[in-house]
A and B are shown apart, each in its own frame.
Chain A
Amino acid sequence: MSVSSQSRETERTDFVAVLAKVCLVAFLSSLGVVVLYPLFWMALNGFKTNAEIFGNPFALPSGFSIANYISAWNQGIRNYIATSVIVTLGSAVCTVFVSAWTAYGLTRSKLPGKPFFVGIVLGGLMLSPTVAVIPLVRMMQDLGLYNTYWALIILYTAFRIPFTTFLIRAYMLGLPRDLDEAATMDGASEGQIFWRVTLPLCKPILVSCVILHVLFAWNEYLFAMIFTSGADLQTLPVGLTSIMAKHGTNYAVVFAAMTLSALPIVVTFFAAQRFFIRGLAEGIGK
């Protein structure tokens, strides 16, 4: 009798466990639908005609014609993507190199007063672009950089140096020094040690930094909106809002344009997921 009651007991806990598991999976799945369905809806609406868009929003498009996508591509998305690529890559290269130099100077060189300089870099983390934007407008106009790629490249670099330096510095502090010392003994200069020893060792964090920067620069809106005005200089986020303003009634093209601008970063995320996640993990200490 005691055996049977025990087995009934385990049966019941099994049942509870299975029920809990089913509830959990159901919950995770419905949350997944809430997250993904709007994105699919966006991509599907890009295939619809305007009349279909005004019909049942849950209906599938009648055909998968890419006409809207082509028209969105030709109506500016192509240019916006080109600008976004230039600005994103330009600022990513500048930011990561300058930050790596700085991190090296702050960890390995014989720079006097390091804590003071580290403090200035960390202080930069607290200052937000929103607060600086009004003075920056005049500054950029005076420098003749207003409405150029350089305005965005320089500003993205300057505003991301504190964060990126912080990440690389933390990584460099954790690197063993034996190699540096051996290289110093062999008569290598600081510069040679940086390029030949430290930088190769930092490759993982540099990849993470590039990814975090790309994620930031590709999606940045405030500076991009304020410092560029010409259609040929607008980045994707700003260009999208102008497509919206221009073709506000041709919803299908707007949906296609939105999908096209989301696609590159989503593809990059799934392709480089491992680096993304490591980059974010490193960034937590921010």
Chain B
Amino acid sequence: MTAMKHDYKGGAVKIGFTGSRRPERGRLGPITGILSFRWIVIAFVLILWFVYYPIIDNFLVSTKNQDIFTGETAFVGLDNYRRLQSDPVVWTAIVNNTLYAVISVIIQVFGAFVLAALIEGLSEERWRRFWRAIYFVPSAISITVTGLLFYFIYQPDIGLLDSALTQIGLADWSRAWLGEEQTAIYAIIAMSQWQGFGYSTLLFAIAIQKIPRELYDAAIMDGAGTWRRLWNITFPLTREMTGLMVIVTIAGAFQVFNEVMVMTGGGPNNSSQVLGTWLYQQGFIENDFGYGAAIASVIFVITLLTGFAQLWYTKRRRIDL
């Protein structure tokens, strides 16, 4: 880790040296500089055109309303944003996205951290690799497949869940999990945890592997037990990773779309709508592009905030260790 940092700094210094050592660069400098654009030009055309420009365009679209029948657009200013405030489904969606974020942080960050520490505590590498791989499998499968799979698992007639509950004597608990307003969003979030925890467990396992063994040996010598080692060594030394995962998980939770779309489409009665599906519903089903774009702006602001948090965190992270 430190070696790479030295390389980085050394490299940066060397650029200057190469420049001054080679006299011809002085004359041809500007030309080779401009020619160097050829390396990045394709990427920048693609990024600016398809990634950055649509964001700006999205704000423009959100200030207009298009008449579906005549196709004429009219400038409406911030009307679409005022409509957001009074739209109860937007608030349901924000609550659902927040629930998604909170539960995912608990399970996929802190739960996964503990699980990774347990796995890495096993003595045989064979088994460590085995468990990491097993838990990761759902993450490799597309959300559409896992979403459909759980759509069936939650069905009262053919599903696994209600049968399992009946068999262990909890028949009272069985219900149409996706068909009831109180449970739909939780059922979707549960599927998402099932799918995603193996991925973050794997990431934490990799971070834990980077901790020097000597620290643990020294701690064992000092008589520190398992929990003490977990709390005083593993946790502090993977804190950077934990912080990053919290931010990435929150950002992901506000962009959720696929699983909700596949499992409930936002229903029943909009109870499981999230911002992404409500954007789709308004923009593409109701063909109200202006309002859809306004919802997109909300997602944009939230992802931008988490993005800045991430940048700030990674920058700060460079300093320690």
Which A residues lie at the B interface, using CB under 8 A? 24, 27-28, 31-32, 34-39, 41-42, 45, 53-54, 56-58, 98-99, 101-102, 104-107, 109-112, 117, 120-128, 130-136, 139, 154-155, 157-159, 161-162, 165, 173-177, 181, 184, 190, 194, 215, 218-219, 221-222, 225-226, 236-238, 240-241, 244, 251, 254-255, 258, 261-262, 265-266, 268-270, 273, 276-277, 280-281, 284-286
Contact = CB atoms under 8 A, between A and B. Distances in A.
A38 B153 contact: yes
A175 to B, nearest CB: 8
Interface in B267-286: 275-276, 279, 283-284
- List the 9 closest pairs (A to B, CB-CB), nearest first: A105-B39, A126-B307, A219-B142, A132-B54, A135-B57, A237-B144, A158-B50, A109-B36, A111-B36
A99 B11 contact: no
Contacts of A269: 133, 136-137, 140
A155 to B, nearest CB: 6
A41 B160 contact: yes
B163 A56 contact: yes
Interface in B116-155: 118-119, 122, 131-138, 140-145, 148-150, 152-153
B74 interface: no
Contacts of A126: 303-304, 306-308, 310
B46 A130 contact: no
A154 B50 contact: yes
Contact of A130 (B149, B206, B279, B310): B279
B148 A240 contact: yes
Given A110-B33, A131-B58, A269-B140, A98 B160 contact: no
Contacts of B142: 218-219, 221, 236-237, 261-262, 265
Q: What does DSSP make chain B's interface, helix, strand, loop or mixed?
A: helix
Interface residues of B, number: 97
B257 A130 contact: yes
B168 interface: no
10 contacts: A35-B138, A101-B42, A110-B25, A120-B52, A127-B303, A134-B58, A135-B57, A158-B47, A258-B149, A265-B142
A134 B61 contact: yes
Nearest to B28: A110
B311 interface: yes
B255 interface: yes
Nearest to B290: A134
Contact of A36 (B61, B137, B206): B137
Given A31-B135, A241-B144, A159 B51 contact: yes
Nearest to B19: A110
Nearest to B293: A134
